[in-house]
Structure formats: structure tokens, C-alpha cells
């Protein structure tokens, strides 16, 4: 009863608080007219994006670009090997000069499908002016592949991922490179008892890597820990009577805690949030399920931790009227719920979150009404939505829409919203710069 009351109260406040506005919008056209899609981005003063571009649907290249803070193009670069059917940028890292000896530059992990049907993963480095410095083939795989880029922000780059090849056999691969492009080590790992499609990766603050996923065989979530040299250490599986159908994300706390968010199917409650915390030794500290007030499907979408390892999770909660609403919850490190907030879009539109960002992770003492500033990117119908929580009782809202088009967020920062837009037989991408707004109410930009 208390939880239902709290949700109703916060919905009322959401509709009466707004202090943001759209300052400027940049439509991605650095290489000229065509179809654009953003896959990844970083914003460190300047903005870096990678993704795909094609003047036609049959000519797709990896595109990388740098924008200044006013959303003006500094440079862009296309990449497509001569023997490829198409190429796309998948992940991006920017390393700036620093005390750890890092070689400054922009690192792109691209995927290219060659004319023989093989997927090629390629590590590309650009200098600060957009000049290509090298390209390294990391993997050449005949089946499905998923990969990511990680770094220690010194002079090491990690290319990590998994491949599903013949016989549905799943294999994990790990590579460490120096920023100069030199391969330091290469590792691989597989377990016949596990078959999985996509992994979520995290890096331990000191050393070591972690991969988490969902077993297609047992429908249990799991995580695998590797040491600083990529050698296998431990496999931890969450065995439960309720099946999991998706691993949403994994995060690592300040003392080596591992936090997982997954979709779990309850016999009477349908899809529910499942949040698990493990200690550094792989033992369950606590487990929390969330079944919304309507007792219909509740599907987590994103997970974050602050510096005190308080846990934040957001997702979709279906209401009694079969509308999708956004449900965001916060838990203390010990598993106690701090607060819960709900957002319902105007009219009869569905609302759904896509991305989550803690703007301030350092919280000395968190209480019921104290939390880091949270920015959430999602959708309200076909429009893009930004929710900026100051505390669980107050949130600023902005909605960005394009007529007859569907907007889907790629990510959000404290200043920028990154969107892919589809419809009318074409695809495009935009960067939205938003900021303070003086007039209360929901601000819409068409």
C-alpha cells in the first residue's frame, strides 16, 4: 500500500516541474546526405561519435566524427575496407594526455562484413586531428559476434567480446593492446555448460575484467571473472526457480561488489526487475525483485552505482490501463530501498527508458530525499524524453519530437542527448544540446 501511494505522489509532481529547454540541435550530415546512425559517443568538452553512414542502403561505411561544444564538425572520417559489404563503428574510447602515460587519441572498434561472409572486428586509432594512425584486425569470425572496448585510462586498451560459431558454441575472447597498437596478450575461454549471445562487460578498479550474461541453456544469469592477464578465475551462476530471460547490465562497486540487473519471470507476476548484489568473493549479499503496483510486466532497462555502491535501476512498468510507465528505484548498499519514482507520459502515450546517467556519483550520506543528480533518456510515444531528477520528489522534463519520425535515444549526458531517428524510408541521427529553462511545464521541441 505504501509503495502504491509513493508512486502516485511522484507522478503528480513530475507533471508540475520543468526547467530545461533545447538550446541547439545538430543533425548529423558530416559526409553529406544519406542514412546515419550513432552507435557510441563520448563527451569530454568536445563530442566524439561513431556509427554508420551510407548515401544508399547498399553502401554503408563506418563513420567517426568530432564536434565542438557548439555542435560544429571539427573533422570526420569514413572507414570501409575494399573487400567489405558494409562497415560500422560499434564502440569508442577517447584517451586524453594524462599522468598515467596514455597516448592521446580516439580508438574505434569497427565491425566489417567481408564478401566471404566473415565478420571482422577492427581496432582503429585516429589522432586528435582525425588522421588514421593504424588499423588492427582483432577477430575474424564466421558466426555472430558482440564486442566492446575498455581501458585503464593509462596506456592499455582491451578488446573483449564473445562469438557464437558452428553448433551454437559460445566463446569469450580478450585482447590487450598498448595504445601504440602493439598486442600484449590474447586469451580465449569457453564452458560447454554455457551458451549465450550477448555479454555485458566491466573492469575492476584495480585490475581484472568481468563478463556477465544469460545462459540460453539454463536461463540463469552468470558472471565470469578474469585476472589482469585475461586468465579465467571464477564462474558464478545465479540458480533460481524463476527463469531469467535477459541480463540487462552489470556494475562493479568500490570494494569489488558485483551488481547485476536482469528480467526474471514470476509465476504469478510476469516479468519483474531482479537486482542481485554479490560480494568480492562471489557470495550473494542480497537479492531484490520489483513487481509494480499493477502486478503486470516490469522490465528493467538500465543500472547504475554511485561511489558508495548505492544501486539505481530504471525500466518499464506496465500500468493497470496497459500503459508503459517508467519506474526508477534506488537501493542502499545493504539492499534497503531508498526511494521509488514513476513517470507516465502525457496523454495515452507509452513511456520507456533507454539510458541512465548519474551526474554526481559522490554522495557522502544518502537519505530518503538525497541522491545524486540522475538524468534518464527514454521515449514518450515516438518522441525522445529526458528526465532529470534533482531528488525523488522533483524531476525536470523535456520532450523532443520530429513529425512522422521515431526517435530512439543512444545516450545522454548532463548537456547532450544523442538520438537515432527513423521513418519515411530513411534513418538519421541528431545531437540535442539542452539547458536551463525559465518557464515551468513540459517543454516540447518539434
pLDDT at 205: 82
Fold of 36-239: Neuraminidase (2.120.10)
SS3 30: coil
On the question of pLDDT at 165 being above 90, the answer is no
Confidence of residue 55 (pLDDT cuts 50, 70, 90): confident
- Single pTM value for the model: 0.90
SS3 163: strand
- By CB neighbour count within 10 A (0-12 exposed, 13-18 middle, 19+ buried), where does 380 fall? buried
SS3 9: helix
pLDDT at 100: 57
Q: Which of 77-81, 118-122, 279-283, 371-375 has the lowest mean pLDDT?
A: 371-375
pLDDT at 96: 81
Confidence of residue 102 (pLDDT cuts 50, 70, 90): low
- By CB neighbour count within 10 A (0-12 exposed, 13-18 middle, 19+ buried), where does 406 fall? middle
Confidence of residue 4 (pLDDT cuts 50, 70, 90): very low
Mean per-residue pLDDT, 99-115: 85
pLDDT tens string 121-157: 999 999 989 999 999 999 999 888 999 999 986 778 9
Mean per-residue pLDDT, 85-106: 84
Domain boundaries of the chain, sorted by first residue: 1-30+295-446, 36-239
Please give the residue that has the higher pLDDT: either 56 or 374: 374
Q: What single string gives the DSSP state of each residue in 420-444?
A: EEEETTEEEEEEEEEEE-SS-S-EE
On the question of pLDDT at 3 being above 60, the answer is no
pLDDT tens string 391-424: 767 788 889 999 889 999 999 998 999 999 999 8
* Phi, psi angles (nearest 5°) of residue 6: -65, -40
pLDDT over 90 for what percent of the chain?
70
Q: Could you tell me if 395 and 14 are in contact, meaning their C-beta atoms sit under 8 angstroms apart?
A: yes
The angle formed by the CA atoms of residues 412, 416 and 422, to the nearest 5 degrees, is 70
Mean per-residue pLDDT, 298-312: 95
On the question of pLDDT at 11 being above 80, the answer is no
As a whole number of Å, the CA-based R_g of the chain is 22
State how far the Cα of 139 lies from the Cα of 136, in Å rounded to an integer.
Answer: 9
On the question of pLDDT at 284 being above 60, the answer is yes
On the question of pLDDT at 184 being above 60, the answer is yes
- List, in sequence order, every residue forming a beta bridge with 162; answer none if it has no partner: 146, 172
Mean pLDDT of the chain: 87
Beta-carbon contacts of residue 283 (< 8 Å; ≥ 6 apart): none
On the question of pLDDT at 359 being above 80, the answer is no
Q: Which of 2-16, 326-340, 341-355 has the lowest mean pLDDT?
A: 2-16
Amino acid at each position: 500500500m505504501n509503495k502504491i501511494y509513493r508512486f502516485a505522489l511522484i507522478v503528480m509532481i513530475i507533471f508540475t516541474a520543468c526547467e530545461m529547454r533545447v538550446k541547439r540541435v545538430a543533425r548529423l550530415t558530416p559526409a553529406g546526405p544519406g542514412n546515419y546512425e550513432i552507435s557510441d559517443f563520448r563527451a569530454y568538452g568536445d563530442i566524439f561519435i561513431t556509427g554508420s553512414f551510407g548515401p544508399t542502403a547498399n553502401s554503408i561505411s563506418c563513420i567517426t566524427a568530432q564536434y565542438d561544444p557548439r555542435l560544429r564538425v571539427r573533422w570526420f572520417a569514413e572507414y570501409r575496407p575494399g573487400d567489405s559489404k558494409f562497415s560500422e563503428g560499434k564502440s569508442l574510447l577517447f584517451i586524453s594526455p594524462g599522468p598515467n602515460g596514455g597516448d592521446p587519441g580516439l580508438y574505434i572498434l569497427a565491425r566489417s562484413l567481408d564478401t566471404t561472409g566473415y565478420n571482422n572486428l577492427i581496432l582503429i586509432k585516429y589522432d586528435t586531428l582525425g588522421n588514421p594512425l593504424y588499423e588492427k584486425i582483432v577477430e575474424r569470425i564466421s558466426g555472430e559476434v558482440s564486442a566492446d572496448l575498455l581501458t585503464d585510462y593509462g596506456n592499455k586498451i582491451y578488446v573483449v567480446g564473445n562469438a557464437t560459431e558452428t553448433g551454437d558454441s559460445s566463446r569469450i575472447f580478450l585482447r590487450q593492446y598498448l595504445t601504440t597498437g602493439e598486442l600484449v596478450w590474447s586469451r580465449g575461454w569457453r564452458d560447454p555448460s554455457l551458451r549465450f549471445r550477448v555479454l555485458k562487460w566491466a573492469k575492476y578498479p584495480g585490475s581484472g575484467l568481468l563478463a556477465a550474461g544469460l545462459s540460453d541453456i539454463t536461463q540463469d544469469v552468470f558472471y565470469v571473472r578474469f585476472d589482469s592477464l585475461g586468465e579465467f578465475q571464477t564462474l558464478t551462476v545465479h540458480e533460481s526457480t524463476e527463469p531469467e530471460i535477459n541480463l540487462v547490465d552489470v556494475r562493479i562497486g568500490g570494494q569489488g561488489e558485483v551488481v547485476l540487473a536482469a528480467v526474471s519471470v514470476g509465476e504469478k507476476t510476469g516479468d519483474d526487475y531482479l537486482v542481485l548484489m554479490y560480494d568480492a568473493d562471489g557470495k550473494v549479499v542480497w537479492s531484490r525483485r520489483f513487481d509494480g503496483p499493477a502486478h503486470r510486466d516490469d522490465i528493467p532497462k538500465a543500472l547504475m552505482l554511485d561511489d558508495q555502491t548505492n544501486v539505481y535501476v530504471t525500466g518499464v512498468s506496465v500500468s493497470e490501463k496497459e500503459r508503459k510507465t517508467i519506474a526508477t528505484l534506488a537501493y542502499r548498499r545493504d539492499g534497503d530501498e531508498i526511494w521509488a519514482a514513476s513517470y507516465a507520459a502525457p496523454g495515452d502515450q507509452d513511456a520507456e527508458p533507454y539510458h541512465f546517467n548519474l551526474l554526481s556519483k559522490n554522495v557522502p550520506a544518502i537519505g530518503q530525499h538525497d541522491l545524486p543528480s540522475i538524468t534518464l533518456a527514454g521515449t514518450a510515444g515516438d518522441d525522445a524524453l529526458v528526465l532529470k531528477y534533482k531528488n525523488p520528489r522533483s524531476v525536470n522534463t523535456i520532450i523532443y519530437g520530429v513529425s512522422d519520425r521515431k526517435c530512439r535515444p543512444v545516450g545522454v549526458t548532463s548537456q547532450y542527448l544523442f538520438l537515432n531517428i527513423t521513418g519515411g524510408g530513411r534513418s538519421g541521427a541528431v545531437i540535442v544540446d539542452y539547458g536551463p529553462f525559465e518557464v515551468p511545464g513540459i517543454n516540447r521541441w518539434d
